[in-house]
Amino acid sequence: MILNDILIVVGSVLKIRLERRLVEEIYHYNICSLLLGTGNLLVWSGLLRYLGFFRQYNILVLTMKRALPNVIRYMFCALLIYSGFCFCGWLVLGPYHLKFKSLSRTSECLFSLINGDDMFATFAGIIETEDTMIWWFSRIYLYFLIALFIYVVLSLFIAIIMDSYDTITEYYEKGFPLSDMKRFIAECPDDASSSIYLSDAEEDTVQNAFSNCWHGITSMFGSESAVRRPSAYQRIGS
């Protein structure tokens, strides 16, 4: 990939300047590490294309390529639901729970809950007060979030990838489908050199070209034979 080469080259040049004390600002170190780190990430990701030469690895690579568009669409839909839970938790539970004090903390807390981490501490963070409405809302909110994302969203996410894997495996067993170009070519049984693909004008032009070429060859050999072979009168006269 060209992008990772550019990032590594620019990061290396900046690293040389930092080593020679040509620049000493702290943000140059951050930019250098960012460029080199991202470049190395892209380099190692690019090694996947070499695994395509092996059948078993190529199935996995093709599965990721086929599932990527559907995964992105599905993640966009899930992101909308996740954003709604984030704003709701931040606005309602922010004054009562430490993990919901800011929007970023709320997102981190919900992401941990989706992955099954730190559940009891989150539930125990809201102590039941005189106003039980917030306490009951927090329970319903957290239970619904965990059940929705763990049992539905993540399961559908895995199902999309497994469907792509089954499709690629079936292609390997029964053959890959033809592209639009190959399907269009397969509709006509004639060979590509057949005269059916030539119009009348083109066919006449080709025939005239062959005819002129043949006349030229015969006239050339005919003139040479006329020069080399004397006529009967010349032989008699000699």
Give Dmax (Cα) for the chain.
143
| Residue recorded with tokens 């568009």 | 69
- Helix, strand, or coil here: 128? coil
**In angstroms, what CA-CA distances link 7 with 16, 22, 32, 43, 226?**
14, 20, 9, 10, 76
Structural domain boundaries of the chain? 1-50, 54-177
Write out the E strands in the chain.
none
How confident is the model at residue 212, as a pLDDT? 60
Tokens of residue 86, six digits: 């984030």
CB-based contacts of 198, cutoff 8 Å, min separation 6: 206
Q: pLDDT tens track of the chain, all 238 residues?
A: 788 888 889 888 888 888 877 776 777 888 888 999 999 998 898 888 888 788 888 888 888 888 999 999 999 999 999 999 999 999 998 888 888 989 999 999 999 999 888 888 888 887 766 568 888 888 899 999 999 999 999 899 999 999 988 888 888 877 777 777 777 766 766 666 666 655 554 445 555 555 666 666 666 555 444 444 444 434 444 4
How confident is the model at residue 237, as a pLDDT? 43
3-state helix, strand, coil in the chain (%, to 5): 80, 0, 20
How confident is the model at residue 216, as a pLDDT? 61
Tally of CA atoms within 13 A in the half-sphere of 84 that contains its CB: 9
Tokens of residue 163, six digits: 């469907």
Dist CA 59 CA 65 (whole Å) = 10
Q: Report the candidate in 145, 172, 33 with the shortest Cα–Cα distance to residue 86.
A: 145
How confident is the model at residue 144, as a pLDDT? 93
Q: State the CB neighbour count (10 A cutoff) for residue 24.
A: 9
How confident is the model at residue 111, as a pLDDT? 92
